[in-house]
Every structure is written in C-alpha cells, then in structure tokens.
Structure 1
Amino acid sequence: MNLLDKYIVFRCRQEEYAITIDQVIAIERAEGFTSVPQLPHYVKGMIRSRGHLVPVLDIEMIFYDRAIEESNDRRIIIIQGEEFEYGLLVAETKEIIDIAEGLIEKPGLLLHIRLDYLKGIANFKNRLISIIDSHRFLSSLDGNVSIAEYITESKEAEAAL
C-alpha cells in the first residue's frame, strides 16, 4: 500500500520544498516583525499569531546565508514545533499536494548529520521537491536553544503580568 500525505509546497530561491500539512497551523502574510537582539542571525523577528509569540525564521538565510527578498508573495508558514510554534519565512507558498510515500527517496548525501532534517526528495517526472521534517529542522539549527529560552522567558513574563 502506497500511503499519501498532504504537503504544502513553498519556494526558496529557485528550489521547491515541502512540509507535511498536519504540522502547519497557519499561513500568514509576511509583515510586522519585531526585531529581537541577541537571537541567531536567521531570526527575522517575532510576530504575534493567534495570541502566541512566534519567532520567524528566514529560510533563505538558513539555507543560503542570504536574506529573503522583499515581495508581496512572501509568506510565513506557522508550524507547531515540539516545544513552541515557529514561523518559516518563505519566498512564496505554491500549493498543497499529495505525495505518495514511494515517491520520496533518501539519497546517500542526505544521510549527512547536518542534513538530517531532510526527510527525502519527492521525485516527480518533471520536478524534485525536498521534504523537510519540521521537528528535526528546528532542532538542527545552531542557536535553537537561545530561541527556546527567549520564548520561555517571554511566556513567563507575560504570565506574571
């Protein structure tokens, strides 16, 4: 039996990536970031989404060490992480598609420890889509502990008010 999962496909530079839809809470317009000093360089800022403080991570800064370009197509994909919600700033969201488990291949290159957040590559006839494991993605980032600490401290300060 070839299981199907729903994925949201997004663009980063000229490449396509996808994340399972069951971990996506919302997709929002990219606007209104509040900068926070002392967080990793890839954290664009914080937003408030449905009453929660959400760090927004610039995926192009993470993958290509270059900030995502300003455009009306930019979106924030709000994802439920293991410890807290986070947002991925992406160039654009493209579509929601079904991908059969059998189409996802894990080439040997992806076995490298720094790429363990890649579940594999969906191999379609005319396109390749890199599949990201959202839980492993966040935990693989340098500085993820400082983001978690900031979120925890912010929640504690808010609860004390």
Structure 2
Amino acid sequence: MVETSKVVVFQVGNEEYAIPIRFVISIEKVEGITPIPHLPDYMNGIFKVRGELIPVIDFERVLYQRPSNINELTKIIVIHTNELSLGVIVKDAKEIIDIPPEKIKQLGLIAYGKTSYFTGVANLDSRIITLIDPLKMVQSLDGIKQIQDFMAAEVNT
C-alpha cells in the first residue's frame, strides 16, 4: 500500500496551503475573538474552544503582512503542536485530501529562515498546494515566547 499524506487544505490570499490532519483539532467560525493589547500584530487575540483559551493568529498577516478580509467563508483552523494550541485565521478551509508522496516536491527555499515551515509543494493536476509544518511555523513566529507566557499565565489564573 502506498503511504499518502492526509491534509487539511485551506486558502490564504489567492494561494492554497495544507497542514497535516494530525495537527488539526477543529475548524471554527470566526467569532468571539477577544483582542489582547501589546501582542504581535499578527495575533488577533484569544478565543474559547471547548472551554480552552486559544491564541488566534492571522495567517495572511504572517505570510503577506496584510490583514485578512474576514467574511462568511473565513475560518479558524485550530491546530495543536507541542509548543501550544492556536487558531489560524484563513480565507477558507476547503477540504481534506490525501496527497500521494510522489506528488510532493521538496522546496529549494527550505534554507530560507522565514519559510522554513514550508516542507514541500504538492503538484496536483491544476493545483499547487504548499505544505506547512505547524510546529516549525509556530517556532518561527516573532514574539511566540511572549504569547506562550501569556497563555500559561491565563491558564494558571
């Protein structure tokens, strides 16, 4: 049997990206985000999912330095890493698909520090989907230590 990668495909800007499904806790509507002052500009605030407070980042800000245009298609993908759980605002969460390994090409840009979390590109018929390692993405965010400290303080109060 050929090993495939099951991923959640989502849109940011005009591009498609994917995160391995094993990191995805849920996909939520964008509502109930509480802004927190003095955190990095890519962080919209925190919101509650199943009783847990989760920091929310705007992935369009992370990738393209511009805020997401939030509408009825906009979603928050809640992901879990060893570092922390967080919500990622995306233009649209599209589908869950299996990507065969032969369709995944490694990127020559891996060495570039700001995109170290791009692990490859899936070349599917008329689509190009950039694959993301959520753990590396979280670790690459400027100010993530302050967010982790803030969330730890919130949990302990």
The answer to whether the superposition gives a TM-score over 0.5 is yes
| Shift in Å, 1:48 | 0.7
Native 8 Å contact 2:83 2:138 kept in 1: no
Q: TM-score, normalised by structure 2?
A: 0.96
Aligned residues: 157
Shift of 1:5: 1.6
Instruction: Give yes or no for the alignment of 1:154 onto 2:154.
Output: yes
1:153 aligned counterpart, secondary structure: helix
Q: 1:59-70 counterparts in 2 under 5 A?
A: 59-70=59-70
Which amino acid is 1:17 matched to?
A: Y
Q: Counterparts of 1:1-161 in structure 2 under 5 Å?
A: 2-157=2-157
Tell me the SS of whatever aligns to 2:86: strand
**What letter matches 1:6 in structure 2?**
K
Q: Quote the Cα distance in structure 1 between the aligned partners of 2:70 and 2:59.
A: 13
Greater displacement, 78-87 / 12-21: 78-87
State whether residues 2 and 102 of structure 1, in contact with CA within 8 Å, keep that contact through their aligned partners in structure 2: no
Distance 1:13 1:124 in 2: 19
Give unmatched runs, 5+ long, in structure 1.
none
Provide the secondary structure at the position in 2 that maps to 1:110.
coil
Q: How much has 1:113 moved relative to structure 2?
A: 2.1
Amino acid at match of 2:66: R
| Runs of 4+ that moved beyond 2 A | none
Moved more, 96-105 or 59-68: 96-105
Give the Cα–Cα distance (whole angstroms) in 1 for the partners of residues 24 and 107 of structure 2: 26
What amino acid is the match of 1:135?
L
AA paired with 1:10? F
CA apart distance, 1:156: 1.1
Whole-angstrom distance in 2 between the partners of 1:118 and 1:56:
20
Give secondary structure in 1 for the equivalent of 2:66: coil
For 2:88 and 2:142, locate their aligned partners in 1 and report how far apart those are by CA, in whole Å.
16
How far off its partner does 1:84 sit? 1.9
What's the C-alpha RMSD, in Å, of the aligned pairs? 1.1
Deviation at 1:135, TM superposition (A): 0.6
Which structure has the highest helix share of the two?
1
Distance 1:138 1:3 in 2: 26
